[in-house]
Amino acid sequence: MSSTRIQYLDGLRGVACLMVVAGHYMDALSPSSVVRPFDDGVLAVAIFFVISGFILTDSFAVNIPAQRHLAGRLVRLLVPCAVALFLAYAASSGLHYLNPDFPYFSIKTAAVHVFGSTGVTLLDPPTWTIGYEIYGSCAVLVLVLIRARSQYVWMAVCAALIIVFGVREIGLFVIGHLMRVNWDKITRSSRTIRFSIVVLAAYFLLTECLNGSVFGGSFGTIGTGLIHTDTPLDAPHAMLGALLFLAIGASASLQAFFSHKAPDYIGKLSFSIYLIHWPIMFLLHCASSWPVTIIAGVAMTLMLSILFERYVDKPSISLNRRIKKVRLSGRVLSFSAPTGAAE
């Protein structure tokens, strides 16, 4: 994979991040108002999970001890998350001290929320995905290690994970991993096949925009899996997210769009924006009207995310790399890691 493809993945992250932010503002401002798919945060989360599974396949292919891969990934995810939660907790506690009527949040329940218990806190609800990022990262790491030893066992484990978890959460990481392993075949397929993928994705996206649902009935049941998870991500949105990711990879025009400077720049800030936008929105709304909240919230989110990315997110990525101590000349398990691959 070339650095161009990595750039379009950053741009896709940026657009998905804006969808999450727009969805939260729209839901809070007017739950009955929807501008699909631009405010569909659930669809955006599905795309995030597929991207993670895709990129981590290369990142984990470097032949270093698995525990260093896992330790680096935990640092990369949990350090920014912990800082964001602490800042949100400090801000809300300070406002509660000045005004006892202001909501008070427990940092303990916020920490529990990160690892999959939804609905326990309004401190930073989007952090429910961090736990699944960790679980999905573990699944991809295991798959990479198994594939290096036995192709048949690897295929059996991939199938088992999809059957058990469906295409939701963990299943999306597996799908992203499978796409990366077969990416050369996908991108070298005939123009007719790639065009058909794009048309199919456009059709289902239009269906979702008009009806608010897609892949219903038996498709939704099949995609759910054997294990039920209490998260906002349903199987139809998960399948649509995976299909959209595949369609973008099959279209040079879509790749060029997501490689533009604006989405690429937002993509580099996407994790920071994702972590801090909700506390800013919530705290402002408790103290002011909605017009002020929207204008000030968007401005503050952008400015603070730049600082957060520079002083929290980038250092966590650097620490991740130091833990793994990856050398460019290091042997890989299956295939070469792409230039500039995200951690």
Question: Is 341 a residue whose pLDDT tops 50?
Answer: no
Are 278 and 23 spatial neighbours (Cβ–Cβ below 8 Å)? no
pLDDT recorded at residue 340: 38
User: What average pLDDT does range 86-98 have in this prediction?
Assistant: 81
Are 22 and 298 spatial neighbours (Cβ–Cβ below 8 Å)? no
For 149, residues 6+ apart whose C-beta sits below 8 A from its C-beta are none
- Tell me the torsion sign for CA atoms 318, 109, 281, 135: positive
HEC sequence for 102-146: CCCCCHHHHHHHHCCCCCCCCCCHHHHHHHHHHHHHHHHHHHHHH
Q: Which residues pair with 332 in a beta bridge?
A: 62
User: What average pLDDT does range 28-54 have in this prediction?
Assistant: 76
Residues in the chain, overall count = 343
pLDDT recorded at residue 38: 57
Q: Which residues pair with 62 in a beta bridge?
A: 332
pLDDT in tens, 154-182: 999 999 999 888 888 899 999 999 999 99
pLDDT recorded at residue 236: 82
Core vs surface per residue 82-112: b (16+ CB within 10 A) or e: bbbbebbbebbeebeeeeeeeeebebeebbe
**CA dist., res. 144 & res. 181, Å (int):** 10
Residue ranges per structural domain of the chain: 3-324
pLDDT band (50, 70, 90) for residue 41: confident
pLDDT band (50, 70, 90) for residue 209: low
**CA dist., res. 265 & res. 254, Å (int):** 17
Question: Is 330 a residue whose pLDDT tops 50?
Answer: no
In one-letter notation, the amino acid at residue 200 is: L
**CA dist., res. 73 & res. 268, Å (int):** 17
pLDDT band (50, 70, 90) for residue 205: confident
Instruction: List the one residue out of 296, 295, 309 whose CA is nearest residue 265.
Output: 309
pLDDT in tens, 95-136: 777 777 776 666 666 655 555 544 444 566 788 899 899 999
pLDDT recorded at residue 331: 47
pLDDT in tens, 240-296: 899 999 999 888 899 999 999 999 999 999 999 999 998 888 778 776 777 778 888
pLDDT in tens, 222-252: 566 667 677 778 888 888 899 999 999 888 8
Q: Which of the residue ranges 69-78, 120-129, 304-313 would you say has the lowest mean pLDDT?
A: 120-129
